[in-house]
A and B are shown apart, each in its own frame.
Chain A
Amino acid sequence: MSLLTIDDLVVEHRSPGRPVVRAVAGASLAVNPGEVVGLVGESGCGKSTLARAVCGLNPITAGSVAFDGQPVTPLGLRRRRLTGIQMVFQDPYASLNPRRRVGEQIADGLRTSGDTATTPADLLERVGLPRDFARRHPHEFSGGQRQRIAIARALAARPRLLIGDEPISALDASAQAQVARLMRDLAVESGAGLLFISHDLSVVRLIADRIAVMYLGKIVEVGGTAEVWAEPRHPYTKALLGAIPKPDGLGVLPAELPGDVPDPANPPGGCRFSPRCPMVMDVCREKEPDFGPVACWLHEPT
C-alpha cells in the first residue's frame, strides 16, 4: 500500500467578491515509501495548493488525502498527532524564525518525535553543515545554508513523507542541484517518501523516480522519469520539455507555447489544455479526458 494516496482531490480558494477559484480540480497521485515523486507545472497550476492540502494547511473541498490509510485532518491550533508529514518551504528567508538560534528550531522537531538520542548538531552534520552552527541565528547564513537548516528541521521530526514546495527556486543556480540531491539522499536513506515540487524540470529529472505533470489543477501525465523525459506523450509535457533551452552552445531558440495559462476561476470547457494545444481535435473541446496515466484523447486507454 502506498504511503500517501491522493484521490480525486479538489481544493477551492474562496475570497469575498471574487468567483471561487478551483486551484486543484480532481488530482490523483500516490507516493510510496522510499520513492521520490516530482511534481512539475507552470506557476498558477495548483502545485503548491496540492502540497498544502496534503499537509492539512488548506481545507479540502472534495476527494481525499490519506496518509498511511488515515485521512489527513486540517491543521488546527491543537497539538498535532500526525507528524509523519513534514514540509520544506520555498523561501528559507521566511520559513526560519529570525529570533531563535537554528539549533533550538531544529530541537523543536526532535521534541515532536520524542527523539532524545539525536542532537541538533548531529542533524546539521547530516545536511553538510559544521556542528557548531547550531548556536547561530538564521541571518548569519546564506540562502543555500538556510535551506539546509530548514531540511534538517524537517528531518528532525523523523518524517515518513517529506514534501518540498519549490525548495530550490529561491537559491542560486550553483546551490540548487546540491540541495535537491541532498533532499533526495536524506529522504531515501531514512526510507521516507519525497514529494518534490518544482517548476525547474532539469532538477526534477535529476532526483525524481516518477514525474507528475500538472496543468491548471489537473495531473495530465504521470510516469517514470526516464520514460517521460525520453518520450513525453501529453502535448503539454512535450511543450514543457521543448521549452527548456539546452546549454549546448548551438544557439537554438527554445520552442514557444503560445498563450498564457487560463484563469483557473474560469477554465476552458473540455480538455483544459485544448485552447493552447497544437494537436487539438474536436473531441478535446467537448469532453474532458478523465483517465490516466496520460490524460489526453490521443492516448486514450483501450
Chain B
Amino acid sequence: MTLDITGLKMSIGGKDILRGVDLRLSEGRVHGLAGESGSGKTMTGLAVLGLLPHGARVSGAIRLGERDLLTLPPKELNRVRGGEVAMVFQDPATSLHPMLTIGKQLTEHMRHHLGLGKAEAKARAVELLGKVRIPGPAEAYGRFPHQFSGGMRQRIAIAIALACSPKVLIADEPTTALDVTVQAGVLRLLRGLCDELGLAVLLVTHDLGVMSAVADEVSVMKDGLVVETGPRASVLREPGHAYTRSLLDSLPDTELT
C-alpha cells in the first residue's frame, strides 16, 4: 500500500507551516525527508497520523490506499493509527511510559487493534523483541524502560511501532539522540525490516549521512515546501536545488569521495 501526500497545507494561528507538500511513499522503500529544524519535517509526519497541535488548519490530501486520512472520521482514524500507520519518535527516553513494563506497552495496542488474547499477544511481543535483537526477550518482557540503554530503548520503540504489522512507518529523527555505534545498529535494523516486511518508511532526519545510508529516495524541505525530491544518488551527489547544495556544503565533513 502506498501513502500519497498531495498539496498538504497547514497553518497554525494564521501562520503557514506547510505550504503544499507532495510526497509519495511506496512499499519496501525508505523515503528520507531532510531539512533544517522549523522547515516542517516533523509536522508532515504528524499530519499523517492526525496528531497535529490544537488549532491547526489542514488542507490537501493524504491518501492511504483509497482513503483520505485527513477527512476520515476519528473512529476510523483510530483504526489506522498504530494499526496501519505507526510512528517512532526522536527520544526513546520520553516516548516510552516510565511506569509500565515494556511488555504492557508492546501488547496494549496489539490486543486492541488485532483483537489478540493475552497469551497470544505476549508470544508475539517476545518474538518482536527478538526481531529487534533485544537480548533475552522473554525476561526483557517484564522489565521497565529505565532498565535498558538508549539504543535498546529505541529498538523497543521500533518494536512497539511494528507490533500491529503496519504498512507505513514514520520515523522522526530515530537516531538523533544516539551514539554513532548505536545509530549504525538502529539504521541496519530499519533497513532490514523495510526489506523484509515491505514497509513504507518515512525517515525524517537532518543528518544527510544517515539519509545516504538508508534512504532510497530523498526529499529536501525548506520553509514548508519540498524543494527537491529524487533518488538518493542524484539528490546527494548532484543536487539540483541551491538549498540542497548549501546543506551539503555546510556539513563539517564535506569530503565527498
List chain A positions with a Cβ less than 8 A from chain B. 42-44, 172-174, 176-177, 180, 199, 201-203, 205-206, 239-240, 243-257, 260-261
Q: How far is the CA of A43 from the CA of B188 in the complex (A)?
A: 20
A-B contact pairs, 15 of them (CB 8 A): A42-B179, A42-B182, A174-B36, A176-B252, A202-B252, A203-B252, A205-B253, A243-B181, A247-B208, A247-B251, A249-B237, A251-B233, A253-B213, A256-B185, A257-B181
On whether the beta carbons of B184 and A243 are closer than 8 Å, the reply is yes
Residues from chain B with a CB closer than 8 A to the CB of A177 are 250-252
| B210 on interface, CB distance cutoff 8 Å | yes
A256-B181, A257-B181 as given contacts; A245 in contact with B210, CB under 8 Å: yes
**Looking across the interface, which residue of chain A has its beta carbon closest to that of B257?**
A248
List chain B positions with a Cβ less than 8 A from chain A. 36-37, 149-152, 179-185, 187-188, 191, 206-216, 232-237, 247-248, 250-253, 256-257
**Looking across the interface, which residue of chain A has its beta carbon closest to that of B133?**
A258
Residues from chain B with a CB closer than 8 A to the CB of A173 are 36, 206-207
Chain B residues touching A, majority SS = helix
Q: How far is the CA of A205 from the CA of B253 in the complex (A)?
A: 8
A202-B253, A240-B180, A260-B152 as given contacts; A248 in contact with B187, CB under 8 Å: no
On whether the beta carbons of B179 and A250 are closer than 8 Å, the reply is no
Residues from chain A with a CB closer than 8 A to the CB of B235 are 249
A42-B179, A203-B252, A260-B151 as given contacts; A249 in contact with B232, CB under 8 Å: yes
On whether the beta carbons of A247 and B256 are closer than 8 Å, the reply is yes
Q: Looking at the assembled complex, report how far the CB atom of B172 sits from the nearest CB atom of chain A, in whole angstroms.
A: 15
On whether the beta carbons of B251 and A253 are closer than 8 Å, the reply is no
**In the complex, given contacts A245-B209, A254-B183, what are 6 additional A-B residue pairs having Cβ atoms less than 8 angstroms apart?**
A206-B253, A248-B237, A249-B234, A250-B233, A251-B232, A253-B187
On whether the beta carbons of A253 and B252 are closer than 8 Å, the reply is no
Q: Looking at the assembled complex, report how far the CB atom of B233 sits from the nearest CB atom of chain A, in whole angstroms.
A: 5
On whether the beta carbons of B179 and A248 are closer than 8 Å, the reply is no
